[in-house]
Amino acid sequence: MNKDNTIGGDFAVQVYNSLTGTKEALKTLLPGEVSIYVCGMTVYDYCHLGHARVLVVFDSVVRYLRSVGAKVHYVRNITDIDDKIINRANENGETCSALAERFIAAMHEDEKALNVLPPDMEPQATMFIDDIIALIERLEKAGYAYKSRSGDVLYRVRHFEGYGQLSGRSIDELLVGARVELNVDKEDPLDFVLWKKSKPGEPQWASPWGSGRPGWHIECSAMSMKCLGESFDIHAGGMDLKFPHHENEIAQSEASTGRKFVNYWMHNGYLQIDSEKMSKSEGNFYTIREILDSDANILRIGEVIRFMILSSHYRSPLNFSKQSIDNAKASLTRLYLVLSRSGDVAMRKESSCDSRYSVLFNTAMADDFNTPEAIAVLFSLVREINRLLDNNLVNDARELCSELKYLANVLGLLSQEPIMFLKGLSAETSNNETATVEWIERLIEERATARMAGDWAKADRIRGDLLEQGILLEDDGNGQTSWRLEEVYTGE
């Protein structure tokens, strides 16, 4: 490991730091270790595709950092108490904790389908109330917090010198924005809630300021510092959290500790629908499971979504459409076809960093996690493998295949059995699937007989009929026929 605490060895990892607006070499507090906190979900509903992007992007970041030998401490929180949760629970007539529990379980299912690994820690706000209260007390002692007339405890924004450093705006500039509501309760309109006085019937915890609950931003300060220390390396989340959430986290954390809170801030771009930001308030959003349900095989469509997300750079906007899904499907099919063509190949345990492809792959990823370029490297591997196979150099091809699988795995891709992906079969085969497979195989036999007899018309009719059902037949040179899924484009 380098003495200067850079990560990545020969491929010094460069990270775009939202705080400075530039790409910087990633230098961590501890040599060879990376502490990263990602703002996770507020669990009052099913995760949408924007959440999928955060999950997949930072899962890939963590996988990559680990692949270059870093010991990563990955924390992703769950906010399980806030206004939206309380409202939704009331609407449903269930308790907040029951509601939260339900959607946490659903989120874990979604993650699985997207091949997102669990973080090392997944702290929930309601389990850190003591730490939150202690943090607010520190802020109060230092003069950064005050109790308002209404009973809420607020953060005194004017007292924190660096306020606005992340969003690149001064308090006064923010005020000119004019959409800040006037509130007699606040010393300054930008002051925000640290502790909210509870209303009857709401979840509440005892505190020095009376019973209440944490405000929105404080739990991330408390939990991240509790899990990773008062200073840590990377804090990440969606672009929309930059202001005010992350700005406020900095204010809370640095005012309480007097130390630099986070060295690198990473923000992923929005997921868009028809080139507009997808958000619940706009009503133009898809849940992850909605998309997952559009395919019989949940892992297959999950990987397609993952591929689609990684095929654009994490900071760019990502436009979701039927075509982006189809593109991802076609690309993944090409990757899986070469694996299937090579037979079953075990994944290499470690990358041979000296290989041409690994060098290109790592160079791309070290440059602020350029996954589109890394994926392009995967495809040049595919071409090479196919060339080798065309020339019957099977052993060489299989060697490269195991490298392909290794590199793809760094992106969380190609972890399924090729056949399962190509045929769209799930791991625990249903009766329905078995019946379908048998039906297809019967037709293939029937066609083989026709071909043997030279009845091309019949053979082609069977093939054409199956294709209309989305089943593509492929004959190899030895009289064997295989099949795979091929969506026929019906024009929407």
Q: Does 221 bind RNA (CB under 7 A)?
A: no
Q: Does 490 bind RNA (CB under 7 A)?
A: no
Q: Residues 23 to 62: which contact RNA by CB under 7 A?
A: 39-42, 48, 50-51, 53-54
Q: Which residues contact 259 (CB under 8 A, 6 or more apart)?
A: 230, 231
We find the least distance from the C-beta atom of residue 82 to RNA, in angstroms, to be 7
Q: Which of 350, 354, 390, 428 binds RNA (CB under 7 A)?
A: 390
Q: Residues 275 to 304: which contact RNA by CB under 7 A?
A: 275-281
Closest CB to RNA among 109 and 326? 326
Print the SS3 string covering the chain: CCCCCECCCCCCCEEEECCCCEEEECECCCCCEEEEEEEEEECCCCCEHHHHHHHHHHHHHHHHHHHCCCEEEEEEEEECCCHHHHHHHHHHCCCHHHHHHHHHHHHHHHHHHCCCCCCCECCEHHHCHHHHHHHHHHHHHCCCEEECCCCCEEECHHHCCCCCCCCCCCHHHHHHCCCCCCCCCCCCCCCEEEEEECCCCCCCECCCCCCEEECCCHHHHHHHHHHHCCCEEEEEEEHHHHHHHHHHHHHHHHHHHCCCCEEEEEEECCEEECCEECCCCCCCCCEHHHHHCCCCCHHHHHHHHHHHHHCCCCCCCEEECHHHHHHHHHHHHHHHHHHHHCCCCCCCCCCCCCCHHHHHHHHHHHECCCHHHHHHHHHHHHHHHHHHHHCCCHHHHHHHHHHHHHHHHHCCCCCCCHHHHHHCCCCCCCHHHHHHHHHHHHHHHHHHHHHHCCCHHHHHHHHHHHHHCCEEEEECCCCCEEEEECCCCCCC
Closest CB to RNA among 134 and 239? 239
Q: Does 84 bind RNA (CB under 7 A)?
A: yes
Q: Which of 161, 438, 460, 465 binds RNA (CB under 7 A)?
A: 460
Closest CB to RNA among 71 and 242? 242
Q: Which of 27, 66, 169, 289 binds RNA (CB under 7 A)?
A: 169
Q: Which of 4, 91, 93, 179 binds RNA (CB under 7 A)?
A: 179
Closest CB to RNA among 230 and 367? 367
Q: Which residues contact 91 (CB under 8 A, 6 or more apart)?
A: none
Q: Does 218 bind RNA (CB under 7 A)?
A: no
CB 18 within 8 A of CB 166: yes
State both tokens at 301: 């469509």
Q: Does 451 bind RNA (CB under 7 A)?
A: yes
Closest CB to RNA among 281 and 490? 281
Q: Which of 318, 401, 410, 471 binds RNA (CB under 7 A)?
A: 318
Q: Does 389 bind RNA (CB under 7 A)?
A: yes
Q: Does 459 bind RNA (CB under 7 A)?
A: yes
Q: Does 268 bind RNA (CB under 7 A)?
A: yes
We find the least distance from the C-beta atom of residue 492 to RNA, in angstroms, to be 14
Q: Does 362 bind RNA (CB under 7 A)?
A: no
Q: Does 180 bind RNA (CB under 7 A)?
A: yes
We find the least distance from the C-beta atom of residue 304 to RNA, in angstroms, to be 12
We find the least distance from the C-beta atom of residue 251 to RNA, in angstroms, to be 13
Q: Does 178 bind RNA (CB under 7 A)?
A: yes
Peptide bond into 244 cis (omega under 30): yes
Q: Residues 124 to 153: which contact RNA by CB under 7 A?
A: none
Residue with tokens 């037979």: 343
Q: Which of 130, 290, 456, 470 binds RNA (CB under 7 A)?
A: 456
We find the least distance from the C-beta atom of residue 40 to RNA, in angstroms, to be 7
Q: How far is CA 362 from CA 13, 67, 407, 421, in A?
A: 9, 10, 9, 26
Q: Does 375 bind RNA (CB under 7 A)?
A: yes
Closest CB to RNA among 390 and 492? 390
Q: Which of 69, 118, 168, 470 binds RNA (CB under 7 A)?
A: 168
Q: Which of 206, 330, 453, 488 binds RNA (CB under 7 A)?
A: 330
Q: Does 337 bind RNA (CB under 7 A)?
A: yes
Q: Which stretch binds RNA (CB under 7 A): 27-35, 86-94, 142-150, 171-179?
A: 171-179
Q: Which of 133, 135, 241, 408 binds RNA (CB under 7 A)?
A: 241
Q: Which of 5, 148, 257, 327 binds RNA (CB under 7 A)?
A: 327
Closest CB to RNA among 112 and 242? 242
Closest CB to RNA among 477 and 491? 477
